[in-house]
Amino acid sequence: MGSEIERKFLCEPPAEVLAGAGTAIWQGYLTIGADAETRLRRGGERYWLTTKRGEGLVRGEWEVALSAEQFEAMWPATEGLRLNKVRYDVPLDAGECIVDVYEGRLAGLRVAEVEFDSVPAAEAFTAPDWFGAEVTGIAQYANRRLATVTAAEVAALAERG
């Protein structure tokens, strides 16, 4: 079993964070359950299938690389369960950080995710000043939920941020 240890924050990144080249991400869900999901993702010329189980700081995660043909064959099954974003890699001393800038109906939402090697490292992390509220484990900010939100729910998320 693979796992990820990750903290998630709303953010307003400084201009220099978004100045570099980001990677367009297309993400669609094949299944969404109470505590598990299976999704397809395309980032640049990379395609993969990911299953995640659990919520919060530590979750199970399994990834399998796909060919473009495999991705295209399954993509129609994600209709109505998709989101698009641009992903930026951000160097931080504490761990691997990415900033996702959402597009489409989620435009304006920006989320920083930091992955850690251990729970103690995650717990000791001090967020940079441009990180906002922590949303680790808050269901409304899980990508599987964001792929299904209505326009009214998007407006409510924006008000909280």
Residue tagged active-site, from 29, 47, 88, 102: 29
Specify the DSSP element, H or E, that contains 76. Answer: none
Q: Is 29 a catalytic residue?
A: yes
Tokens of 52: 């995640």
Exposure letters 101-122 (e unless 16+ CB within 10 A, then b):
bbeeebeebbbbbbebeeeeeb
Distance (Å, whole) CA 49 – CA 27: 10
- Decide the pairing of beta strands 36-43 and 46-53: antiparallel
CB 9 within 8 Å of CB 111: yes
Among all residues, which ones are annotated catalytic? 29
